[in-house]
Chain A
Amino acid sequence: DTEVTQTPKHLVMGMTNKKSLKCEQHMGHRAMYWYKQKAKKPPELMFVYSYEKLSINESVPSRFSPECPNSSLLNLHLHALQPEDSALYLCASSQPILDTEAFFGQGTRLTVV
């Protein structure tokens, strides 16, 4: 099973809403990532978890709050987002060692209204 599953696939939320994106993998990977991708741009790294601990935060605004409840799950909690936060949010996982590729989920397409 080389699958990373993200839910929901699509999400529309208001600027005052609170929502969560979910990501799950069962490949035994101990590194998990959140990326944000705008149209016609490459994915931009947001957060990295390594062995369930937050190891990298790329200066992401606090309205995005990641959580890693266990080695298979990764959440991204959203609160008070802005319309410019509308994007494709991609989750990925890999082994936290060199020369191993990352596998990506299909993403959550988020629209903030």
Chain B
Amino acid sequence: RKEVEQDPGPFNVPEGATVAFNCTYSNSASQSFFWYRQDCRKEPKLLMSVYSSGNEDGRFTAQLNRASQYISLLIRDSKLSDSATYLCVVKGFQKLVFGTGTRLLVSP
């Protein structure tokens, strides 16, 4: 079993749709959690950190459930520019471990 797992997708949605991504992690000692976005042939870039109380940044909402070892990302009012791969990242013991990534395609 991979340490951090995501549904690879692709998720094909129309502009304006709401889409949710899930991520599970196996190491209960994991300490910090992030969502990164990666465009084709580019480096990963931080989208948002994920806090236990849940947090929101504009159209993006992240949730963490430590008991279930589960992280989610909700994107509201999808834009064409949201098309990318979304990577769940778990940090602990000096490591940053990436999930398998979920590809999102937003169409007009």
Binding site for B on A (CB under 8 A): 31, 33, 41-45, 48, 50, 55-56, 88, 90, 92, 94, 96, 98-107
Contact = CB atoms under 8 A, between A and B. Distances in A.
A42 B99 contact: yes
B95 A48 contact: yes
Contacts of A104: 43-45
Interface residues of B, number: 21
Nearest to A55: B94
A101 B49 contact: yes
B94 A42 contact: no
By secondary structure, the B interface counts as strand
B43 A98 contact: no
Contacts of A56: 94-95
A101 B81 CA distance: 23
Nearest to B88: A42
B46 interface: yes
